[in-house]
Structure 1
């Protein structure tokens, strides 16, 4: 199980604590593989981009208009976190529905 996120992200830390078998992939350091990003974009669409982040607010209108994959390759911290890959399936965020789907109570 891979958890794509940030070491310093509180939500990612909570998820890691409840998913001891998960391996953290720090998107700031390692990025997200293109194949995983493409699948995530296909599964989650615009929800993949965290438009409430300070990074997003710092972008110009021109930068915000960049295609999502290109934007996430340039600014991986814009991705909503965590993005969890388990057995080929992707999960986005750490709400009750994701926790239930992963068998965490």
Structure 2
């Protein structure tokens, strides 16, 4: 089963969900804010695609992180930050099993499902 991880009200998430729905791709949606994020699942993602790819440094959540934390971020501190604030994880994360796709790009989704 394909799982799409993210936050319901995110504009990029809305685009990804609309694309998947229009393409008639069956998937399960997991909302970090509503459904939570387990440390075990995050640890899998830290292996693939990795903490640096997962960490969204462009969003408002990142800008709210104290400067000293941002300047000294590493895998351990990023992990804790993601567990405490799942909104800081880049979205959407499309879990295809062996492959994880971060962000939404219609052309990439087309190549995956058509």
TM-score by length of 1: 0.82
Query: 1:97 offset after TM fit, Å?
Result: 6.1
Query: 1:96 offset after TM fit, Å?
Result: 4.9
Larger Rg: 2
Unaligned runs of 5+ in 2: none
Alignment of 1:51-66 (within 5 A): 51-64=57-70, 65=73
1:74 aligns with 2:84: yes
Greater relative contact order structure (CA < 8 Å, 6+ sep): 2
Q: Answer yes or no: is the 8 Å Cα contact 1:4–1:25 preserved in 2.
A: yes
When structure 1 is superposed on structure 2, of 36-45 and 46-55 the one drifting more is 36-45
Matched pairs, number: 104
1:18 aligns with 2:19: yes
Higher helix share: 2
1:34 aligns with 2:39: yes
Unaligned runs of 5+ in 1: none
Structure 1 runs of 4+ aligned residues shifted over 6 Å read none
